[in-house]
Amino acid sequence: MSLHQPVLDGAQKAFLSCYLDNLSLVERLHRLLLDVIKDEFERLRVLEVNPVQALLLFNVGDNEVTAGELKSRGYYQGSNVSYNLRKLVDLGYMHHQRSEIDRRSVRVKLTEKGRVLRDQVSGLFRRHAEGLEKRGVIDVNGMDEINISLRRMERFWTEQIRYIY
C-alpha cells in the first residue's frame, strides 16, 4: 500500500467502485452515441459529416454562436470546435460572419443544409426517446433522476476545475 493512499473502509470502497463504474459508463455512452449517429448517417448516406460535427449542428440549433460560447457551454474542446466549425462552413452546413463588435470573433449559424441535418439528428433522438418509453426501458421520472445526478456530478467537476487548480 502506498504511503499517500488513505485506508478506505467498506462503504468508501463501495462508493469508489460505483464512482469508477459511472465514469466508465459515461465514457462508453458517449462513444455509443457517436456510433448511433454514425450508423444513422450511413443509412441516410450522409458521409461528409462525422458524428461529432452532427452533434455540433444539433447543439447550435437555431442560435448564432461563437466557438468560445460552444466551448464555455462545455460541449467541445477549443481546437476541436474550431476545426469542426471550419469543416462545417467549408461543407456548406454553417455560415460564418465576423462579429461587428469584436473583429477577432466569428459568429456561426446553420445554413438551410445544416438545419436539414440538424433535424435528422433531432428526429433520431426523438425516435430513441419514444422507443425508450414505449419499451419500458425508462420512464420520465427515471430519466429525470439520471439528469439530476449527472448535473450534480457536472457541478462538482466544474468546481474542481475552477477552485482546486
Which percentage of the chain shows pLDDT scores above 70?
A: 92
Q: Please compute Rg for the chain using Cα positions.
A: 20
From CA 92, how far away is CA 87, in angstroms rounded? 9
Separation of CA 101 from chain center:
29
Domain boundary assignment for the chain: 49-160
pLDDT (0 to 100) of residue 77:
63
The tens digit of pLDDT for each residue in 71-102 reads 777 666 656 888 899 999 999 999 988 777 77
CA neighbor of 49 nearest in space, from 21, 22, 88 = 88
This prediction has a pTM of: 0.82
Architecture of domain 49-160: Orthogonal Bundle (1.10)
* 165 — pLDDT class (breaks 50, 70, 90): low
The tens digit of pLDDT for each residue in 132-151 reads 999 999 999 999 999 999 99
pLDDT (0 to 100) of residue 117:
97
pLDDT (0 to 100) of residue 105:
76
pLDDT (0 to 100) of residue 162:
77
CA neighbor of 117 nearest in space, from 34, 59, 77 = 59
pLDDT (0 to 100) of residue 2:
55
pLDDT (0 to 100) of residue 104:
72
* 116 — pLDDT class (breaks 50, 70, 90): very high
Q: Which residue has the higher pLDDT, 33 or 68?
A: 33
